[in-house]
């Protein structure tokens, strides 16, 4: 949980800096982009969990 809070604070600070310099945001500007990133993360975690089961199944 500590990592999540640090990442959120760091992202907030980076967002402030980019807004202060009037630069485009360094992340997807729409919720769909954020949802895509979450989907990639969840897919990675599911494959890490289910991957060994697939390997045993296809032996």
Say yes or no to pLDDT of 59 above 80: no
Q: Are 28 and 34 in contact (CB under 8 A)?
A: yes
49 vs 55 pLDDT, higher one: 49
Q: What is the pLDDT of residue 52?
A: 80
pTM above 0.85?
no
Say yes or no to pLDDT of 49 above 70: yes
45 vs 58 pLDDT, higher one: 45
Supply the DSSP string of 2-57, one letter for each residue: HHHHHHHHHHHHHHHHHHHTTPPPSS-SSHHHHHHHHHHHHHHHHHHHHHHHHHHH
Q: Which residues contact 7 (CB under 8 A, 6 or more apart)?
A: none
């Amino acid at each position: 949980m500590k990592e999540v809070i640090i990442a959120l604070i760091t992202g907030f600070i980076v967002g402030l800096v980019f807004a202060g310099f009037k630069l485009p945001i360094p992340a997807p500007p729409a919720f769909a982009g954020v949802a895509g990133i979450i989907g990639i993360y969840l897919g990675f975690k599911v494959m890490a969990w289910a991957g060994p089961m697939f390997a045993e199944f296809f032996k």
